[in-house]
Structure 1
Amino acid sequence: MTHRIALITDSTCDLPRKYLDKHDIQVVPLTIVWGGEQFLDGVDLQADEFYQRLAVDSTIPTTSQPTPQQMVLAYEKARNAGAEELLMITISSAMSGTYESALKASELVEFPVQVLDSRSNSMSLGWQVLAAARAREEGGNIQDMIRAADNARASMVYLITLDTLEYLHKGGRIGDASHFIGTLLNLKPQISVDHKTGTVAGGRRSRTRKKALADLYKDFFAQVDPAKKLRIAVLHNAALEEAQELAGKIEEEFQPAEIILSIVSPVLGVHTGPRAVAICGYSEP
């Protein structure tokens, strides 16, 4: 289906393919660099394959944002398909150079492109993109789409429990002392996204995985309004059974308007490592 307004995002959105197809959302992949090879996220390297290799490969993968030229190609593809204007919603500018690439690319084309910083990633970005898509489907203009994404972000809560500090340490996100103490005590750290600054913040550390998942559940629902319409995603890095159990518990206790179960993209998994589990969602105003 061709829309007058094209909606584009990047591969960190973690939206399952059926949502991308249903809502006509175009995705620009980031890149994983691993052992001298380069893989387009979700194109050359799928999440399941990535986590299997991550568990046994001692080589540390890195990531890179799309170039402005890659963004231009995505914009031109949408334009050639009949779009008159474009909305690009990206991963937080504080987490990646993707936003800057998208902005630079918007200056290199001769048709209107608006670039929105989601100030987040994963399904927090995904929920904002879906909100924009639904505003478009209701006949909204590009400002209505941006407003819908902003409204979703305003009450968004995104908490992640990690199984290990190893990958944050490998990626330079925490120092040697924090890594040593956390590993020594086998702590399971919880992190969150600050949607005002677009940065990752530290949280509690639990002594066991069972306690960490219980804390994740409790802490998330302490920050949303269950009396309102809830849209919730449960995400995992090769921890499907635990994510399914968590999603089932949420459905039974809170009956959200929408719940999505998804695997975290390789580009994000580079930093969180295998067996991370997250809850991300918001209550509609």
Structure 2
Amino acid sequence: MRVGLVVDATCDLPAEFLQAHGVRVLPIVLNVAGQRFIDRREPQATQAFYQQQLPTVLAGDHSQPLPVLELQQWLLEELVTEFDYLLCLTVCSQRSQIFEHATQASFGLLQCYRERRAAAGLTGPFAMRVIDSKSVFAGVGLLAAEGVRLIGSGAHPNAIRTRLEQLAGQTCTFIVADDLAHLRQRGFQKGDRSGLLDKVRGAALGLGSLLDVKPVLSVQSGADKPVALSPTFDKSAEKLFAHAARRVAANELLAPQLCLSYAGDLSVVRDLPGFAALEQLCAERAVALQLSMLSATGAINLGRGALSLAYAAPAKAFD
């Protein structure tokens, strides 16, 4: 049985990793400054987006999933004959309709895949299961990386789906935004201009203006909250790296993966205090550390210079 994994374009993993393991990327539509772009998570296109479109992002600009019929056609043309069992991992369903659209498209495929497979000389059935990551950005990447590992181990696809659904509820994702003016203008959650930012402002009371601090934000099972504050981006990143390192050192990870993404030149991340120590620790503990660009969707919401980190572990207070 040929088991495949498809992720949406918000999934933060290196292009080289996706290509090496045959992970397919479901395109997303970006609407920026009155123009429509298709995001396929191509590194050069993402870099160009950071430089050309991101500075023009307005409060109403957003990403959206392909329409159901268009998504269904993409699956039919690209994947139905390449795989026998397809796992589709999407960004948190509370923040995007991608999960809903992919689920509807998977039902539609049941009515039309046989003819396409027969024309390709394939007689066996095709199955597709859609998984809600309950996470964003590096969190989606974390689950995808673990899915790749499980597929490579020869695990049964139903066991892989069950395992990823379990880990989705235990994926800890963190965000440090550098451009808080951008974050304040847009809000983090599409359609919500107050929730998260009100929490950040509340946490910042007594510490000065929102623009004078850089919060570490936690996103778990769709809920978000600030967990730490520092006067600079570097200090917040250092706190986050130290927290992740403690969890790795304590052997608390439920999957041997740690994902990091950044909206900018990745050399900046490598120069941040605490990154080198975290990278070395992961290598010593056989934890795969994946460093990639933040998705264009992430950049639209969080702004240039945003950092995302994720691992899977039992819930624990940020220290």
TM exceeds 0.5?
yes
Structure 1 residues 213 and 126: CA distance shift in structure 2, 3 A: closer
Larger radius of gyration: 2
Within-5 A mapping of 1:151-166? 151-153=166-168, 155-166=170-181
Find the counterpart in structure 2 of residue 9 from structure 1: 7
Within-5 A mapping of 1:255-266? 255-257=284-286, 258-266=288-296
Tell whether 2:172 aligns with 1:142: no
Find the counterpart in structure 1 of residue 298 from structure 2: 268
Q: Separation in 2 of the partners of 1:145 and 1:70? A: 27
Q: Separation in 1 of the partners of 2:57 and 2:93? A: 29
Tell whether 2:138 aligns with 1:123: yes
Q: For 1:206, which of 230, 233, 254 is the aligned residue?
A: 230
Q: Separation in 2 of the partners of 1:186 and 1:146? A: 43
Find the counterpart in structure 2 of residue 37 from structure 1: 35
CA contact (8 A) 1:91 1:120 kept: yes
CA contact (8 A) 1:158 1:278 kept: yes
TM-score, normalised by the number of residues in structure 2: 0.77
User: Any unmatched runs of 5+ in structure 1?
Assistant: none
SS at structure 2 position matched to 1:119 = coil
What is the count of residue pairs matched by the alignment? 280
Structure 1 residues 226 and 268: CA distance shift in structure 2, 3 A: same
Structure 1 residues 101 and 184: CA distance shift in structure 2, 3 A: closer
CA contact (8 A) 1:106 1:113 kept: yes
SS at structure 2 position matched to 1:51 = helix
CA contact (8 A) 1:206 1:212 kept: yes
CA deviation after TM superposition for structure 1 residue 78, in Å = 4.4
**Bigger CA drift: 148-157 or 199-208?**
148-157
Give the root-mean-square deviation of aligned CA atoms. Answer: 2.9
Equivalent AA in structure 2 for residue 217 of structure 1: F
| Runs of 4+ residues deviating >4 angstroms | 179-185, 222-225
Structure 1 residues 171 and 72: CA distance shift in structure 2, 3 A: same
Quote the sequence identity (%).
22
Structure 1 residues 231 and 223: CA distance shift in structure 2, 3 A: same
CA deviation after TM superposition for structure 1 residue 162, in Å = 1.1
Q: For 2:21, which of 20, 23, 28 is the aligned residue?
A: 23
Within-5 A mapping of 1:85-104? 85-104=85-104
User: Any unmatched runs of 5+ in structure 2?
Assistant: 111-125, 315-319
Partner deviation per Cα, 1:107-152 (whole Å, 9 max, x = no partner)? 2111532111010122221221222222222222221221332354
